[in-house]
A and B are shown apart, each in its own frame.
Chain A
């Protein structure tokens, strides 16, 4: 029994969505569709009377003013010659269907099951032109949907739609055992066939565990076969995955510098550089009696102290591979998954304060032929942007800043960095909020979305194995509303002391969330049949490793269970009691009383064999280019302002809600015209005080082509200087006002494991990674700015046949620093005419990898170097200048430079600029205008503050010009005019760069 309801817009209502598709079809695909009419179809499998369907359609679904409704028939009009139907594949998130189910219950006062899918929504597009099936297919797959998640029908509309994506799986919930007493070849075959991604050494470690006499005896006692079950292999594969165990960051690396001949062995990059640097800083802080570093590296996110009432918790993650296949789904799942990290830290249930994101794509005008499976960078960009929009906006979390970087090498795999910060009270019901207490006997409660095949083995799932009614598992789509209900509920529950602690279910699903928590007590017992499913007949191992989204795991004391379940029911959040924590030393998993996993905790977490890798550094041979002495600087400046990596991001920024919550004080765009780009976001933390935080992103992968150490150091410096620019203060270990800094490091690198055939330059890539880590250590310990959490993503290569597109080694340092008073922060835009413009910091001949050289297709050799001692001196003086309110505007100098920074400070204001430059040492005019030397700022000051300013900065400042009223950008060099442009022209090329 099924009913179908269709909504279409009345003829007098403009079909905005249809018009947008017409436009995009023409501009992206060069397909002329003429008019398009859109419609929505609801396929309903509940058994309902004719009367109820009528009522549901007319009251529940239709908007009186704009819709016509069709029941069990469809809108037809011979004006439209073709159609495309876009449905979801079985098992794909259909939030709209679920919302329709809920409204159906409300309207008819029914109590139908809304936890499983009974209303399936489709989009239908009626197209004026009579298009061939091939063209319709192109439109469907490249504009309207994605074949990994959608079912398409197209051609001439017959007035019938049969397809309903119900999930049907044959009943087979048996647990298999796997014989590991086989040859090495067969061991590898098992790993490959079961998509375990375990190498031979790892498979042999498992083989040897299962042939241990004690293990065999224990298994016999527990009525388990000697051979491992499929569940056991799966949980080992998940727990030992690169994603969870960071095997390369833990590897023993032999590093050789071929230039100097120096050699060293590094036992774990993570322990040697990342964790060690933070430990050193923590020792310094503790020696000075300061303790704002509350939690580092041990939970889902790091935690620092704001004041005696509250703590700050945050995490930045990546979601690259999923975003390459399905940009929208990948990004929205990424941002929502990242939200769950701070939400599941310590006790959990913090209030999420902001999102931030950094995106690396291939250039939007990419014109090489697309490889099989490769999506056009523009499509990836739009999909990811949309995912971040929905992920943030629909959750009510402001997206307060970000960055977009374009480079050819991101056209195979984009990098999608998502970050989320939140605030927890210092204590929940008397317990420190960041701690994770768990005791033997505590209950394991799963909360949120139900479990399906989503994300099992992620992208490696072969599409050949999917038939019409098998649920897709390669791609997941996040459901912001499910997560919003869950996070609102958690906030209430933790405040009432009902949740002892929590964690999120992300990669590896229950197996990894429970596996990690069980380390605290030393064991867990889980009953998989109690896990609520989206549809019947999942196998036990599938239930345990499924990555179905919007789920958290709570640790709950028996006597709180009833109250917790009652509150959950009132908030429409589904909870299930699936087991308990133990101290047996085993992870013990059962399905209908049959034991399917019995593994020693110690083997599960510490049994993975160590990796050994080799790194070799050889300096590239590079030269500075000879450029023409006849450069038209007007033209260069206009081109730079309109270039991909510099031009305005306004179109993107305005589609993100960056001020919900009412706490965003420095937004991404500020000033009179709302167009001036800012260096760091500033937020206040509550409405009772003006205490706040600044949020920045340091990233500059391009310099890594010359020098990976300087690239990483430069990114770190960029993160710091953006916060100094808005008025932040450097940390001081002796200061006891909890002036915290916290950094998330995120490494995204290409495959760095050497292979003579598939990865001949693996050792060089690994050497770059080593150097990036050395810079991290040097910078953080110099400034006492600690990492509190981070992530590595190690295989960012896109392969199609013999072609490989590898990302350049990329590191993002995301920083947050406390701001004493947000009212004292500084924006980048000029404030008044006649204000004097200065450069702070020294400029060097450092045009290597600059945006300026890029215009001439050159790389160069002189990479910007970080001179941290000098930089710190400048930063300290800026901090002093801000105490005296000497600085009116401040903008950090990075991509494209001094000249660009000055333009950006003038854009969107009512002012122009006049610069008078003179010979400066032996620097060329090119270097003066466009060198990308680090640790510099363009600032403006009131003329009356000149003396005080000069006294403070001395030779570290140079007066370069003034703010004018004439809305012109004039640059004179040695009294010759080299740039003379109307601000309007500059603004125009800046605005149109990404359009």
Chain B
């Protein structure tokens, strides 16, 4: 069967492309790291891939607000074919494909208006801005998955422990109406929670003070998924800050990281979908 192909975007200050590619390879996909400008230059087309990934980083040094300059580039810049890249992304989604944005990547998705897109007009409805602590923070947090979320990325996961590493992760929602729609449509797929799994606004368990304690969003179809925590940074047990005690407590503990599940989910989902389609089309 054809391998699932993950496109991992890099360039302009993105810096988590390698671990993102590594985690897809571990999850059974073929990952390719491509410089965004090579897409603009027409050297690479997003349509040759199943999942388009925007990794974390400090694109343009977070100047003008995190993700702003790069999201402008993606929204307003034209491909060599003179088609807007943003229109190309819309076509990619219309093909039923998937987009993932982590940290800085989530910030692009939000600022381009791809998430949460409750009004279906692809305009910015929320933002991600400076943490309430006023600081960049690297710490591991517990995340609860919205049980009603239907994105395949999160299938079978109730809780997950992941690192956040950001200075601008506080989600602010434009107005009450949009907030209600996000809740009603179950788009707030991830929330910061305490060790017991209860959602919390308390610092540092909630590291930034987000509206709805929200750590991640999907669009209505579940095909676009963005989150502040870094699942690709927990690809191995040995990324866990307490791996050595976990091994003592359970010598048979899996060497896979919890973050890997998210990538396995989406890769397997696409394999199954492809297999189904293959069945349908074969006589």
Q: Which residues of A contact B (CB under 8 A)?
A: 13-14, 16-17, 19-20, 59-61, 63-66, 95-96, 98-100, 102-103, 106-107, 109, 389, 393-396, 479-481, 484-485, 488, 570-572, 653-665, 667, 669-672, 674, 684, 687, 690, 822-823, 825-827, 829, 831-832, 888, 909
Contacts and interface: CB of A to CB of B under 8 A. Distances in A.
Given A99-B63, A832-B248, A660 B241 contact: no
B131 to A, nearest CB: 8
The 9 closest A-B pairs by CB, nearest first: A396-B15, A662-B19, A99-B63, A65-B127, A481-B61, A687-B22, A394-B58, A96-B63, A20-B134
A570 to B, nearest CB: 6
B241 A107 contact: no
A440 B37 CA distance: 35
A670 B15 contact: no
Contacts of B249: 832
Nearest to A61: B64
Nearest to A835: B248
A654 B126 CA distance: 27
A665 B238 CA distance: 6
Given A13-B172, A655-B135, A661-B18, A106 B76 contact: yes
A481 B60 contact: yes
Contacts of A657: 136, 138, 165
Contacts of A571: 11, 35, 37
Contacts of B63: 95-96, 98-100, 481
B77 interface: yes
Contact of A659 (B57, B78, B126, B138): B138
Contacts of A389: 136
Nearest to B173: A65
A664 B26 CA distance: 18
Interface stretch (B67-75, B92-100, B216-224): B67-75
Contacts of B9: none
A831 B22 contact: no
Contacts of B134: 16-17, 19-20
A826 to B, nearest CB: 7
A834 to B, nearest CB: 12
B10, B15, B65: which has the most chain A beta carbons within 10 Å?
B15
Contact of B15 (A19, A570, A660, A684): A660
B239 A674 contact: no
A207 B106 CA distance: 64
B3 interface: no
B64 A669 contact: no
A524 B163 CA distance: 50
B233 interface: yes
Contact of B245 (A20, A61, A63, A671): A671
B16 A672 contact: no
Nearest to B259: A662
A102 B69 CA distance: 8
Contacts of B139: 654, 674
19 contacts: A16-B134, A65-B173, A66-B129, A96-B64, A394-B13, A396-B15, A396-B16, A488-B35, A654-B137, A659-B165, A660-B56, A661-B19, A662-B16, A674-B241, A687-B25, A823-B255, A825-B244, A829-B245, A832-B249
A14 B69 CA distance: 23
Given A65-B127, A654-B139, A662-B233, A670 B244 contact: yes
Contact of B61 (A99, A655, A661): A99
Nearest to A675: B241
B172 A99 contact: no
A103 B77 CA distance: 10
Contact of B76 (A107, A480, A665, A674): A107
Nearest to A825: B244
Contacts of B72: 59-60, 103, 106-107
Interface string B127-152: 10111101111111000000000000
Given A107-B76, A829-B245, A832-B245, 20 more contacts: A60-B72, A63-B124, A65-B126, A65-B172, A103-B73, A106-B77, A109-B76, A395-B58, A479-B61, A480-B61, A484-B58, A656-B138, A657-B136, A661-B16, A661-B19, A662-B18, A663-B19, A674-B241, A829-B244, A909-B245
Nearest to B43: A570
B245 A66 contact: no
B63 to A, nearest CB: 4
Given A16-B132, A109-B76, A657-B138, A63 B68 contact: yes
A393 B173 CA distance: 27
Contacts of A485: 12-13
B135 A64 contact: no
Contact of B124 (A65, A394, A653, A672): A65
Nearest to A664: B239
A672 B245 contact: yes
B277 interface: no
Contact of B37 (A65, A484, A570): A570
A66 B37 contact: no
Contacts of B16: 396, 660-662
Interface in B1-50: 10-16, 18-19, 22-23, 25-26, 35, 37-38, 41
Given A106-B77, A822-B238, A480 B58 contact: yes
B11 A488 contact: yes
A106 B244 contact: no
Contacts of A667: 241
Contacts of B76: 59, 106-107, 109
Contacts of B165: 393, 657, 659-660
Given A63-B111, A66-B172, A102 B127 contact: no
Given A485-B12, A570-B37, A657-B138, A669 B241 contact: yes
A99 B69 contact: yes
Contacts of A670: 241-242, 244
A909 B244 CA distance: 12
B248 A831 contact: yes
A584 to B, nearest CB: 40
A655 B137 contact: yes
B232 interface: yes
Given A662-B22, A662-B232, A662-B233, A823 B135 contact: no
A16 B25 CA distance: 40
B64 A831 contact: no
B245 A658 contact: no
A14 B165 CA distance: 22
A671 B130 CA distance: 28
A706 B18 CA distance: 49
Contacts of B15: 395-396, 484, 660-661
B62 interface: yes
A672 B242 contact: yes
A667 B138 CA distance: 11
Nearest to B78: A109
A844 to B, nearest CB: 31
Contacts of A479: 61
Contact of A64 (B56, B77, B174): B174
A654 B13 contact: no
Contacts of B172: 13, 65-66
B174 A662 contact: no
A59 B111 CA distance: 11
Given A64-B174, A671-B245, A684-B238, A99 B57 contact: no
A395 B15 CA distance: 7
Nearest to B113: A64
A396 B77 CA distance: 25
A674 B140 contact: yes
A657 B140 CA distance: 12
Contacts of B77: 106, 109
A36 to B, nearest CB: 13
